[in-house]
Amino acid sequence: MAKDDDKLSAEDRLIARFFQPLATHPGALGLTDDAAFLTPPAGCDLVLKTDAIVGGVHFFQDDAAREVARKALRVNLSDLAAKGAAPLGFLLSLALPKEIGDDWLSDFAEGLRADAVEFGCPLFGGDTDRTPGPATISIAMFGSVPQGTMVRRAGAKAGDRVFVSGTIGDAALGLALRKKTHMGADWTLNAAQRQHLASRYLLPQPRNALAEAVRTHASAAMDVSDGLVGDLAKLARVSGVAAEIAVAQMPLSDAARAVIAAAPAMLETALTGGDDYEVVCTVAPEKAAGFHAAAQAAHVAVTEIGAIVAGEGAHFVGADGKPLAFKRASFSHF
Amino acid sequence: MAKDDDKLSAEDRLIARFFQPLATHPGALGLTDDAAFLTPPAGCDLVLKTDAIVGGVHFFQDDAAREVARKALRVNLSDLAAKGAAPLGFLLSLALPKEIGDDWLSDFAEGLRADAVEFGCPLFGGDTDRTPGPATISIAMFGSVPQGTMVRRAGAKAGDRVFVSGTIGDAALGLALRKKTHMGADWTLNAAQRQHLASRYLLPQPRNALAEAVRTHASAAMDVSDGLVGDLAKLARVSGVAAEIAVAQMPLSDAARAVIAAAPAMLETALTGGDDYEVVCTVAPEKAAGFHAAAQAAHVAVTEIGAIVAGEGAHFVGADGKPLAFKRASFSHF
């Protein structure tokens, strides 16, 4: 015979305590059902994305749970931003080693809650499991765009300008700094510069504020997550064009400039290392001024870094006008 | 400089080879974009669900990859069935240990493909990562129901009949048989009976054919995944009612009957062990005949096992008319 609350399983209690407060949408049914429901916005397409982060692979085991949670959400939010989509909500699938206790979960849930509020994406449902492996956080996120308007990787045309948001390379340099795998990895940075790079690795700043500007102006877009060089090559490939990028125009933070000045080889890390979570997009010349203005109104910095031409590949040209060659174009776990 | 196919990452190649063939919906863009899009069916709500399976926790490391894939999909399909929803598609998040090679992936993708076709749920996108832990397969599935008609756990009313699909307990007994953790675990079963129980654990048979009958007749429903006793207690709790179940009416397979005859204590395993992936639902008395007919037309066996009454809890009554007590109501990993 099964009675009431005394027979709530530990999993149910965990969900009720940590995750119900995030399930603010009525269709989430307070996480008391098998599934959630959502009435899609009229005249809209859904935009669907899933991305997972794994302990020891995408984050360090000693990273704060709150930042791990936000990173898991933000790597998905970044894709919605690049597709021009507004977030609707997310599903969470969590596999946890038994060492993880209530303190970690409490901080993790608080991180999720903070970002769910900031980005307007409530939790619709989830699944929690034990794993003998590392903590694995898989998010499925859904957003919406007016029907037929999702911005794709395909669509760039010869003559389009290439824009990128924010700054490039900070996260990859922040990771290198943390791992100290590069000779002289302190690069004589001051504390603020070190902190800037570290925080850019720890916590992505997805450009969801830019989504509407991208959707109404860009011919093609993607988020920069595996390194600008490789990501732009992918965009060029599916668009059937080439990209010509002027590295001298690349937006770099003070900290990244200092690193590259001290260790010029780190330019490759900056351009191919990934974890930027910026938006790269192509904009027809007649729309470029409008895109710039819309980005400014959204308080997101965007920089023109090159142009689309006939051909294939993504070609990066140095300040000396000579093409740059990279050992590998992008990060891959495989 | 990043050129074309020679710079495709290993991850991109893996996706192109194994998973692109599953991405048959035009909105999946052949998995060449950051996200997918889907125009929701007019007048419908989306139904959203995520569930993961972890190697060594939800399946055995030596289970065939094809069956692992199908199990991952089917545990989610089962929830859609119980909610009265038709599948639309799924997102896949895959974390793989480095021991897993192309043979495993090929079989895994073939299993997914077979079920995606059988259940009409194409792949919309995915994510593949390396993990130092066991293979972890997380599915986010979305379906649809006519607006406002998702069947909930809440909604059962005193007087409703309680129905369950298929047979109960086979998977839990199949698992016990496989783990040989119970004394005399061969229970003098014949080969066909052993095979029946084993296959019911290995590969769920979600009752998606029953979804429309559930949606048009049931006052409340859920899928039986954590054990009938505990699951029905959850349904009763959120409905604010009690369930009175006659164990003598419980649909049991020949194999389950043989086990329980040989080892009566295994009745508890059958009713609380979980992994059934059947549908339990409540139906108003005036709709019971219609539900039965609709289930028959859908070629899914359903059995009336009890009734909803005022009160709280799920009460199971034995053949002797005495209430049964269980050590624990349902399976929980926590």
Residues in B touching A57 (Cβ below 8 Å): 129-132
Give CA–CA dist B276/B82, Å, rounded: 13
Q: Residue A120 — left, alpha, or beta (φ > 0 → left; ψ -120 to 50 → alpha)?
A: left
Give CA–CA dist B93/B98, Å, rounded: 16
Is the pLDDT at B95 greater than 80? The verdict is yes
Give CA–CA dist A293/B77, Å, rounded: 46
Is the pLDDT at A212 greater than 60? The verdict is yes
Is the pLDDT at B6 greater than 70? The verdict is no
Domains, chain B, in order of start with CATH, read: 10-146 (3.30.1330.10), 161-317 (3.90.650.10)
Q: A254-262 vs A170-179: helix axis angle to the nearest 10?
A: 60
Residue reference for tokens 């069956």: B67
Q: Percent of chain A at pLDDT above 90? A: 83
Interface contact A146, partner B, CB < 8 A = no
Give CA–CA dist B73/B259, Å, rounded: 29
User: What pLDDT does A221 receive?
Assistant: 98
Which tokens is A202 given? 């720890």
Asked if A126 and B29 come within 8 Å (Cβ–Cβ), the reply is: no
Give CA–CA dist B209/A264, Å, rounded: 63
Closest residue of chain B to A3, computed from CA coordinates? B313
Rg (C-alpha) for chain B, rounded Å, is 21
User: Mean pLDDT across the stretch A223-238?
Assistant: 96
Residues in A touching B132 (Cβ below 8 Å): 56-57, 133-134
User: What pLDDT does A68 receive?
Assistant: 95
Is the pLDDT at B4 greater than 60? The verdict is no
Is the pLDDT at A293 greater than 70? The verdict is yes
- Pairing label, strands A313-317, A242-246: parallel
Query: ipTM, 2 decimals?
Result: 0.92
User: Mean pLDDT across the stretch B167-178?
Assistant: 94
Asked if A32 and B238 come within 8 Å (Cβ–Cβ), the reply is: yes
Segment holding A130, helix H or strand E? strand A123-130
Structure confidence by residue, pLDDT tens digits, B259-279: 999 999 999 999 999 999 999
User: What pLDDT does B185 receive?
Assistant: 64
Is the pLDDT at B333 greater than 60? The verdict is no
Interface contact B232, partner A, CB < 8 A = yes
Give CA–CA dist A202/A173, Å, rounded: 11
Residues 6+ apart with CB under 8 A from B143: B46, B47, B49, B80, B83, B85, B86, B87, B88, B121
Q: Identify the band that residue B1 occupies on the pLDDT scale cut at 50, 70 and 90.
A: very low
Considering only the beta carbons, identify the residue of B4, B53, B134 that sits closest to A237. Answer: B4
Residues in B touching A229 (Cβ below 8 Å): 1-2
Under DSSP, is residue A305 helix (H, G, I), strand (E, B) or coil? strand
Q: Would the pTM of this model clear 0.80, i.e. be above it? A: yes
Give CA–CA dist A189/A155, Å, rounded: 41
User: Mean pLDDT across the stretch A112-119?
Assistant: 96
User: What pLDDT does B328 receive?
Assistant: 73
> Closest Cα partner for A332 from A225, A255, A252, A241?
A225
Residue A285 CB-density burial (10 A; 0-12 exposed, 13-18 middle, 19+ buried): exposed
Q: How far does Cα B287 stand from its chain's mean position?
A: 25
Asked if residue A170 lies in contact with residue A276, where contact means CB atoms within 8 angstroms, the answer is: yes
User: Mean pLDDT across the stretch B242-246?
Assistant: 98
Asked if residue B167 lies in contact with residue B305, where contact means CB atoms within 8 angstroms, the answer is: no
User: Mean pLDDT across the stretch B220-246?
Assistant: 97
Give CA–CA dist B109/B97, Å, rounded: 16
**Residue A98 CB-half CA count within 13 A:** 4
Is the pLDDT at B74 greater than 70? The verdict is yes
Q: How far does Cα B169 stand from its chain's mean position?
A: 13
Structure confidence by residue, pLDDT tens digits, A152-180: 999 999 999 999 999 999 999 999 998 87
User: Mean pLDDT across the stretch B206-224?
Assistant: 98
Residues in B touching A99 (Cβ below 8 Å): none
Query: What's the sign of the alpha-carbon dihedral B234, B235, B241, B245?
Result: negative
Q: Count of residues for chain B?
A: 334
Residue A100 CB-density burial (10 A; 0-12 exposed, 13-18 middle, 19+ buried): middle
Residues 6+ apart with CB under 8 A from B200: B170, B171, B174, B253
User: Mean pLDDT across the stretch B35-52?
Assistant: 96
Q: Percent of chain B at pLDDT above 90? A: 83
Give CA–CA dist A262/A275, Å, rounded: 22
User: What pLDDT does B3 receive?
Assistant: 32
Q: Identify the band that residue A26 occupies on the pLDDT scale cut at 50, 70 and 90.
A: very high
Give CA–CA dist B123/B93, Å, rounded: 11
Q: Mutation test of the interface with chain A: which of B4, B14, B25, B37, choosing the one with the most A Cβ atoms within 10 A?
A: B37
Chain A closest-CA separation from residue B44 CA (Å): 7
Give CA–CA dist A188/B181, Å, rounded: 62
Residues in A touching B323 (Cβ below 8 Å): 1
Query: What's the sign of the alpha-carbon dihedral B143, B148, B154, B156?
Result: negative
Q: Percent of chain A at pLDDT above 70? A: 94
Give CA–CA dist A210/A302, Å, rounded: 9
User: What pLDDT does B5 receive?
Assistant: 39
User: Mean pLDDT across the stretch A31-40?
Assistant: 95
Residues in B touching A80 (Cβ below 8 Å): 35
Q: Percent of chain B at pLDDT above 70? A: 94
Chain B closest-CA separation from residue A313 CA (Å): 5
Which tokens is A159 given? 């003559």
Under DSSP, is residue A257 helix (H, G, I), strand (E, B) or coil? helix
User: What pLDDT does B2 receive?
Assistant: 32
Structure confidence by residue, pLDDT tens digits, A121-136: 999 999 998 999 999 9
Asked if residue B205 lies in contact with residue B277, where contact means CB atoms within 8 angstroms, the answer is: yes
Residue A86: strand pairing partners: A144
Instruction: State the distance between the two ends of chain B, measured CA to CA, in whole angstroms.
Output: 50
Q: Identify the band that residue A331 occupies on the pLDDT scale cut at 50, 70 and 90.
A: low
- Pairing label, strands B161-165, B278-283: antiparallel
Is the pLDDT at B130 greater than 60? The verdict is yes
